[in-house]
Structure 1
């Protein structure tokens, strides 16, 4: 890609990732990127692996980032910033997203591709580095390919049928990789995850580099304290991500098979719906804060109206956990509705953002069962989510067909609310985006955007 020619390996920032002091990444531009590529050292390689976590969280927490903007498109929330009318004029009122706007229509392209290139540079360096064992190299390869899969998912989730380049491990200045279809991008992601699994299986027990605190609470030791992510457990994370991709590809039997190898659990003894891995942030010097608690981000009031009720008459417990009264309500000219709700789950500067967690895995399994017409199994999972996560009554009858699908989409709407654009992606997957019009603020009907355009700079480079 044209802009990639200007990107310097983004593993050079000194960052305390997620507030953990041992995750400082030294300046790899000293002495040079060229030396990292040609004569890599063990220290540089391990720092580069940790740096991939910094790259893959880029743009997640911004007001114009992945969670917020996809939340706007999916009618989960709205951004009211008097200093920037594009949040309304382009994201909601415009007939199309502007491919020349790097922070809006042209978003979610350069940053993930920069991190994909970082991973490729690291993978290439593994062929030349000394002082790193074969098992350690295998663990690093599996980790890097899994992170690449996450970055490609951001690209394809936002650009959908516009497609994207995948053959991007090319030297600067070489011919641009062709843009391929959405199906080919998803197939490439699945292949990356499968290759990563094979690499991880030969990767020993422990990663030779530190991970962020978003990966450390995955499993408790005998003393009840969390210990670092093992390679074995990261394989389970890899399979969880593969199950999400399987669902996007509508490979239902494969979804169930990959979920069996993931960290999914429904044991009533130790059921933890939040078990998973997360992007981590902190207010520490040099690190990135989670800014999704900003004063311009509001929750859609229809979330309360559409929610089921608990036995005591309160709203679904997920709404109570994730939505709160805004400190300063927002207004939109010409719209009757006052925006008086904000999101609650990111109140602190170091609040983590889920990458994938157990609650989503249970819903992925329910979706696969529905599409395989295994409705009783699907309802068991959906009722588990209703009762454990929402604290609302189970549905006594077995829903089938469209009824089961609508119930699935409702549970995904509230369980995965404002976590990563799931609502917009789901409604698009099921051809229901136009139904989002009923969730527009009273007094105004917004447009429903299908996908982000490929940035003008990219298309200009291709003439």
Structure 2
């Protein structure tokens, strides 16, 4: 037990399945409301599979709070001001020479939400897959549907640890929590994730063309049919293919996604939130609340904004009283807070039509398909009220424009797009640190608990 305690922030496989909070690790006490893994691995009932589906959706949103705050801070989209725990500023901003180590705040020994949580969702999906494959209580098409849904979520979740540690690589083979596979390099991990998403799409194809056979939450309200879930799968694949620099792959995936050049830019699946016994939107703050712990807009977002950009007016709420937090590198002042949410029960989209249109623009620009790239850019610029693009149509100029529009269109979404965008275009040095005297991180090392795994296995 001592060794397990040492490794609680790990490879979530251990954290998810060997700690007391695991909803499935209850073999000693058989609770009918929380079935053991064994009880759902053989001939699970429809109700048990429904519980697993709902549980996977819950696990799927576990990353939102920490990833939004951390990656948004790394990319200087936001400051996560917190007077009670200065590490939210000093560590995440890399002030006074601080650099990520194996026990870094919010990621290492204290970072379950950053490292362990995605793997918990991945393992939840594995349980759902096994339950779907090994039951006679649902149809063959329904089995394919749950497998396709599970693999779609797995593909999304694997991208989170992959982008945390980047060139250090991640474990992709985690089906056996006591025997996880080796770390694989970033590019190899992305290729494996592509395979998982493609398998999910193939399973969904085999599920027919009707409604998803189990109940999904309101976050999938417009995506609860098999064809619509395939569109979600392909949307996630388009994001992944951009990271893989497979530009034709991006366009192919987008053609099969829910991207709509004439549609609602906010359309897309979301993480739902609600009052107890559910949980509230974790990044909502009451406007003008007298607090000293809050997400605020990074000042450079205001400095670099295009005049009359509707996104600035709609997303950035100017407070009557700024929030001031003092660090050992100086004071940080937040004048604007997040203005996107009307209440603490608002859903948070995890991929939207606006991102897909920008991915289309990027892929066309990379393929020297200038007119198509400009057309997609202009959809975004027109919606923002800043007029059509009139700059150079060289590839470099178009990529500059697309990255700029991504910065405002995808601001503080639960992914940290700017940090990843700057890294994949080797532009981390362009991120403004003048307001906080900090450092821009490229990647994180594996948490110490992760590296302790082989030692633990050997004892």
User: TM class by shorter-chain length?
Assistant: 0.7 to 0.9
TM-score normalised by L of structure 2: 0.87
| 1:324 maps to 2:330 | no
In the alignment, does 2:386 pair up with 1:392? yes
**In structure 1, distance between residues paired with 2:35 and 2:368:** 59
Report the Cα distance in structure 1 between the residues aligned to 2:37 and 2:454, rounded to whole angstroms.
27
Q: 1:421 to 1:41 in 2, by over 3 A?
A: same
Which of 358, 369, 377 is 2:364 aligned to?
Answer: 369
For 1:148, the equivalent position in structure 2 comes to 154
Q: Select which of 333, 345, 350 maps to 2:340.
A: 345
1:354 is the counterpart of 2:349: yes
**Aligned counterparts, 1:160-309, within 5 A:** 160-170=166-176, 172-173=177-178, 175-204=179-208, 205-217=210-222, 229-267=224-262, 271-282=263-274, 284-294=275-285, 295=291, 296-309=294-307
Unaligned ranges ≥5, structure 2: 1-9, 25-30, 286-290
Preserved CA contact (<8 Å) 2:83 2:325: no
Other-structure match for 2:163:
157
| Residue aligned with 1:379, SS | helix
CA–CA distance in 1 between the matches of 2:119 and 2:424?
24
Aligned equivalent of 2:75 = 74
1:222 aligned residue: none
What is the aligned length?
423
Secondary structure, aligned partner of 1:324: strand
Taking only aligned residues, the RMSD between alpha carbons, in angstroms, comes to 2.2
Query: Shift of residue 114 of structure 1?
Result: 1.3
- The 2-side partners of 1:214 and 1:122 are apart by 19
- Residue 221 of structure 1 is matched in structure 2 by none
Distance 1:324 1:369 in 2: 34
SS in 1 for 2:133: coil
Structure 1: give runs of 5+ residues left out of the alignment.
Answer: 14-26, 219-228, 310-314
Matching residue of 2:411: 417
Distance in 1 (alpha carbons) for counterparts of 2:15 and 2:411: 36
**In 1, Cα distance between the equivalents of 2:428 and 2:132?**
44
In the alignment, which of 111, 128, 149 is matched to residue 122 of structure 1?
A: 128
When residues 105 and 341 of structure 1 are mapped into structure 2, their CA distance, relative to the original with a 3 A threshold, is farther
1:135 aligns with 2:141: yes
How many angstroms apart in 1 are the aligned matches of 2:442 and 2:343? 32
CA 1:393–1:70 in structure 2 vs 1: closer, same or farther (change >3 Å)?
Answer: same
Deviations 1:316-336 (A, max 9, x none): 101111100135422243646
Structure 2 residue 67 is matched with structure 1 residue 85: no
1:401: how far off?
A: 2.5
Post-superposition offset of 1:12: 4.1
Q: Which residue of 2 aligns with 1:379?
A: 374
